[in-house]
């Protein structure tokens, strides 16, 4: 498919199109074509923000979730839950680097944890741990988080979902296999600091 303003598309505008049926501008996620890219001050209304199949399914009482081998904040999976004037605002540093007020413009990682649609995902699994953890926190595999606002979004997700039902956070295969689906209502899995490894690499490294 194509974007409103470009013949050759990217996965942000096309992800929005196939999940909502609405075509938008190149590089944007679920924000109407009337809004220019990188506009962090656009008025958030029913006319400018788009909701798609995940919300429709939830409104119909269905369970929803996403599983990806990219960062979970990357454009393709983010098209299922985020509204952003550019796909690049995956974490706080990128939002502030664009001159935007982080209190008014939520980065995509925060949206996964706080947006009503993604907050209600039964399962959310992929890569991208680094955008959910502050710089002083080790991610379990020796890498530190990237966030400079001090927010630990994994802890926030756990705290939020503790009040909603039985929930689990996992970051490796062993933990995932130990999850009891009969006792787990919400599951968040972040298995790499960035994108997931290709299967060939996993086999060569005998990685988890």
Q: What are phi and psi of 42, to 5 degrees?
A: -65, 150
Which range of residues forms the domain containing residue 85? 11-205
Asked if residue 4 is part of any domain, the answer here is no
Retrieve residue 60's tokens: 């119909």
pLDDT per residue over 77-119, tens digit each? Answer: 999 999 999 999 999 999 999 999 999 999 999 999 999 999 9
Tell me how many domains the chain contains: 1
Q: pLDDT value at position 61?
A: 98
Indicate whether 1 pLDDT > 80. Answer: no
User: Is 194 annotated to bind ligand?
Assistant: no
Sorting pLDDT into bands at 50, 70 and 90, what band is 191? very high
Sorting pLDDT into bands at 50, 70 and 90, what band is 206? confident
Asked if residue 2 is part of any domain, the answer here is no
Respond yes or no: is residue 11 known to be catalytic.
yes
pLDDT per residue over 5-45, tens digit each? Answer: 999 999 999 999 999 999 999 999 999 999 999 999 999 99
pLDDT per residue over 41-78, tens digit each? Answer: 999 999 999 999 999 999 999 999 999 999 999 999 99
Beta bridge partners of 67: 125
Asked if residue 197 is part of any domain, the answer here is yes
Q: What's the chain's length in residues?
A: 208
Asked if residue 36 is part of any domain, the answer here is yes
Asked if residue 3 is part of any domain, the answer here is no
Give the DSSP letter string of the chain: ---SS-SS--HHHHHHHHHHS----TT-BSB-TTSPTT-TT---STTTB---HHHHHHHTT---EEEEEEETTSHHHHTTT--BSSTT--SHHHHHHTT--TTTS--HHHHHHHSHHHHT-SEEEEE-GGGGSBTTSB-SSSPBP-BSS---HHHHHHHHHHTTS-EEEE-SHHHHHH--GGG-SEEEEE-SSSSPPPHHHHHHHT--
Asked if residue 5 is part of any domain, the answer here is no
Mean pLDDT across the chain: 96
Sorting pLDDT into bands at 50, 70 and 90, what band is 207? low
Asked if residue 87 is part of any domain, the answer here is yes
Annotated catalytic residue, options 11, 20, 80, 194: 11
Asked if residue 60 is part of any domain, the answer here is yes
User: Is 34 annotated to bind ligand?
Assistant: no
Tell me the C-alpha distance between 26 and 133, whole Å: 29
Is 106 exposed, middle or buried (CB count within 10 Å of its CB: 0-12, 13-18, 19+)? buried
We report the CATH number of the domain holding residue 87 as: 3.40.720.10
Edge-to-edge strand ranges of the sheet holding 167-170: 65-71, 123-127, 186-190, 167-170
Query: 75, 22, 80, 30: which is closest to 54 by C-alpha?
Result: 80
CB 188 within 8 A of CB 125: yes
């Amino acid at each position: 498919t194509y974007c409103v303003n470009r013949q050759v598309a990217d996965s942000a505008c096309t992800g929005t199109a196939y999940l909502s049926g609405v075509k938008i501008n190149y590089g944007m996620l679920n924000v109407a074509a009337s809004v220019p890219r990188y506009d962090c001050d656009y008025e958030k209304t029913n006319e400018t923000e788009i909701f798609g199949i995940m919300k429709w399914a939830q409104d119909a009482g269905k369970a929803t979730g996403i599983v990806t081998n990219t960062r979970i904040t990357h454009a393709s999976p983010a098209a299922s839950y985020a509204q952003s004037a550019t796909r690049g605002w995956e974490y706080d540093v990128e939002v502030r680097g664009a001159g935007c007020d982080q209190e008014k413009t939520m980065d995509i990682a925060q949206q996964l944890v706080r947006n009503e649609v993604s907050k209600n995902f039964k399962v959310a699994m992929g890569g991208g741990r680094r955008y959910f953890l502050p710089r002083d926190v080790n991610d379990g595999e020796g890498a530190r988080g990237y966030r400079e606002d001090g927010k630990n979004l994994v802890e926030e997700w756990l705290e939020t979902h503790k009040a909603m039902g039985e929930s689990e956070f996992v970051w490796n295969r062993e933990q995932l296999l130990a999850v009891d689906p009969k006792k787990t209502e919400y599951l968040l899995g972040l298995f790499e600091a960035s994108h997931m490894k290709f299967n060939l690499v996993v086999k060569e490294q005998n990685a988890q």
